[in-house]
Amino acid sequence: MAMVFTDFTPRRYLIHWLSSAALVLMTYNPFGHSYYHWVMAGGGSTVFKVLMGLLLFFVQTFTLWWIISSVGRIGIAVGALIWGLTSYEFLQWFPTESILIKHLIIQLLLATMLAIGLSWPHLRTRLTGQIEKRYLLYQGKAEKKKRKYAALRAARRAEQRARAAAARAAAAQAAAARTAAAARAAARAPAMQAPIGSPPIRRPPVL
């Protein structure tokens, strides 16, 4: 169970960074190919644009919720301050660069901060050896629900087997009753009565 948080590698952080960069650049980028430019350009299906906007908003909300639940509001404030100061310092290194490069630097730094926020539970567990309490509670609820569903499935299977056994017992009892009824009917039949399909019985003449 602890492997989910302790098995943190640079590859996993790279995945977080690429996902954050894709989210930031899809929302807005200086190249003119983003959701913002797509909406501002006009034309196209309004319904489709609204659906894509809702999907993008959902992903952004989930990302921010995950980061806030990991680092808290103070962590968000500190991260925003670090992002602002770092962006300012980087922009001082490239005073003569184009506005496109400056916007791209700011957005990539924002993606870096988002990736750090997404990876913070893994980093904290790797550094302190402590597992998230929320994760433990979630796993406990999941295991409890799993056991509950397993018990329900076992009870359902036992009920089905009991019904099948009762049906087989009822069928066997009915067959035994038919056999007993046939035997009693045969015992009450006259002794001299010939079976069906046999030649008639010839009785001796009376003198």
Residue 54: inside a domain: yes
pLDDT for 21 equals: 92
27 and 124 both lie in a single domain: yes
Q: At what angle do helices 99-128 and 46-93 cross, to 10 degrees?
A: 90
25 and 113 both lie in a single domain: yes
Q: Select from 75, 103, 131 the last residue of a domain.
A: 131
pTM as predicted: 0.54
pLDDT for 135 equals: 53
Number of domains within the chain: 2
121 and 161 both lie in a single domain: no
Residue 198: inside a domain: no
Instruction: Please tell me the distance from the alpha carbon of residue 72 to that of residue 165, in angstroms, as a whole number.
Output: 59
| Domain ranges, residue 138 | 132-178
Residue 155: inside a domain: yes
Q: How crowded is the C-beta side of 32, counted as CA atoms within 13 Å?
A: 2
Report which of 115, 81, 87 is spatially closest to residue 102, judged by C-alpha positions: 87
- Let me know: does 138 contact 116? Beta carbons within 8 Å: no
20 and 122 both lie in a single domain: yes
Kindly give the residue spans of alpha helices, DSSP state H, lying in the chain: 3-6, 10-27, 35-41, 46-93, 99-128, 133-188
62 and 81 both lie in a single domain: yes
73 and 173 both lie in a single domain: no
22 and 82 both lie in a single domain: yes
30 and 116 both lie in a single domain: yes
136 and 84 both lie in a single domain: no
Q: What is the mean pLDDT of each run of 10 residues along the chain (207 residues)?
A: 54 88 91 88 84 92 87 86 89 78 89 88 67 55 76 87 88 85 74 51 53
91 and 151 both lie in a single domain: no
Burial label for 60, CB within 10 Å (0-12, 13-18, 19+), is: middle
